[in-house]
Structure 1
């Protein structure tokens, strides 16, 4: 008998995991998944034909940090530092690879970073001794490609693993549904009267972590910072009152909107942290449609899309995507669930 978590598993050939972005931004395929029960194979540029001024769109404008740092101890031993959350101007929480002790100083390029303190769950506090974190990431940092992309990062990734509307660098993973949008696509939508509003959610390391608990209720969701401005919240409420339908671009935008919208469907401005875990049985308060990539088996993100569209429908839709050789995960193809 399958455990509840295993109900969200599905077979995925490894060769369908995209290792590179499409040749041109926006050149991906698009699977239109209608929750009434149908699926259509399209191209992403068709998105401008599918969305009109009946809808408005919310995007996540976070930028990915060059969070992976490679350095060396004074003894010559190699150390990797993966920056996570900023604590102060010169301190971050981080994960480390390689043998280090509290107090170890690591040379990254011309900078020196001290492993200041060990925390629970393998986390460290690191302090930048000679340069600011921003300087170090800009000069010597690497793009933190997900672990299922089995290659080193390149200069191209510094462009293609960011959305065209990315702003402040605070995330360790991209809001990947947004990678498909070009400036031209956004302009075409605006010209059709579709309003595009921005929120921020800083994507954390938990996005890569599969569920380990057998039961969904036992899974502890990672917490991520969000920000919704007064202007954005007011506009969302106004558009909803006009009868417009909300399309979330990505699960991060959806998690943000569901975190800041109450049972009366009123969206509140503010900054904070959310650890919302959207699973079957959840009553959606904000989102009417979702643009998203294809997610990992047994992941919280696949559980989320199952909550939104129905588990059986999503399993069947993913089986169709596998059969039609869609590309999966961060650099893969897109799905529009409406």
Structure 2
């Protein structure tokens, strides 16, 4: 399949640089697949569409403020983006470094009175293993919580020191992100629109929420880089599905299984592909699944998602969900996106939402 099928023209002014003033004031484009029609609502109206018996699955991964700014011994600037721990003591991390050419193996960087860091290894992905020596914190994660800047996507423009930094720490995080799951390098952005009020309305109507954790990596922003979809090397991400969530996924009956975001879809579809039973405790695996048309879905009946970048694997997934098992979803998604652009919806991570029923 030609990857150019997933390209479209996204005007720069439609890329949201800040979230809506209130989370659930985001707009909501509702797609009714059977009737092939769309509606234009607000996210606060979500309970008009979901409720009795619906099982809502959400990714509770928390985003670490993972961008650390420091200095090299020469006085030059250094930037370290924390990706994931490299060992169990919390002091070694796989990172991305900038400027990479001036931070070769054996080099150091740090901030006086706070930490020193030593570049010890480079892997085939151009990631660097860095060992930290801390003076004021007991872990690199706690250092990042105090000093770090949110790892916003590259299409959101921020200065090195920006007056919106503190607001980003709150708004580039779901309200249900778990402190024990600070494992994401990017937010599961479909969940950013939820408020306690929206959750309460849904629960009052009989919906139930279930958590899982997918360790969202920077690969989520990697565009399609091959002429044929089938040749694209999809990124891999660890996920965890608790036993209670597994049971809800395998319950029979007429209730709908609603996914909040593509990360939840990715986890659930990979889970169903790998096991046909409930695993005691947590089911932990690495998602290497690439979802594109034509594909049927094993564990998802409805999807809440944001509007995604051109030439992205996320577009492949959403177009597949619009028309499971068929190819029609590709052109239909372009039509929906064209109307959203015309109606001035806000796109990408801080943008508006879409509900596909």
Query: TM-score, structure 1 length as denominator?
Result: 0.95
Does the CA contact (< 8 Å) of 1:265 and 1:286 recur in 2? no
Pair 1:29 & 2:27 matched: yes
The residue that corresponds to 2:326 in the other structure is: none
Structure 1 position 236, deviation (Å): 2.6
CA displacement at 1:135 relative to structure 2: 2.3
Q: Give a deviation string over 1:111-146, Cα, whole Å, max 9, x none.
A: 111111121132111111225211220221110010
The TM-score, its normalising length taken from structure 2, stands at 0.90
Unaligned runs of 5+ in 2: 323-328
Aligned equivalent of 1:278, options 291, 299, 324: 291
**CA RMSD of superposed structures (Å):** 1.6
Q: CA deviation at 1:264?
A: 9.5
Equivalences for residues 111-150 of structure 1 within 5 A? 111-130=115-134, 131=137, 132-150=139-157
After the TM superposition, list the runs of 4 or more consecutive aligned residues in structure 1 that deviate by more than 2 angstroms.
Answer: 262-269
Q: Equivalents in 2 of 1:112, 1:64: separation in Å?
A: 23
**Distance in structure 2 (CA, Å) of the matches to 1:250 and 1:265:** 23
Q: Who is 2:237 aligned against?
A: 224
Does the 8 Å CA contact 1:21/1:160 hold for their aligned counterparts? yes
Partner residue of 2:158? 151
Choose from 320, 323, 341 the match for 1:307: 320
Match of 1:66 in 2: 65
| 1:1-40 mapped onto 2 (5 Å cutoff) | 4-36=2-34, 37-40=36-39
Q: List alignment gaps of at least 5 residues for structure 1.
A: none
CA distance in 1, matches of 2:220, 2:248: 29
User: After alignment, is 267-276 or 48-57 more displaced?
Assistant: 267-276
For 1:145, what is the secondary structure of its paired residue?
coil
CA displacement, residues 15-45 of structure 1 (integer Å, 9 cap, x when unaligned): 0000001111111000001123111111111
Aligned to 2:109: 106
Counterpart of 2:91 in structure 1 is: 90
Structure 1: how far apart are the matches of 2:22 and 2:115? 35
Q: Count the aligned residue pairs.
A: 334
CA displacement 1:76-125 (0-9 Å, x = unmatched): 11111111121212111111111211111111461111111121132111
The 3-state SS of whatever aligns with 1:142 is coil
Question: Residues 222 and 264 from structure 1, CA distance in 2 versus in 1: closer, same or farther, beyond 3 angstroms?
Answer: closer
Q: CA deviation at 1:242?
A: 2.2
* SS of equivalent to 2:45: helix
The alignment status of 1:79 with 2:78, answered yes or no, reads yes
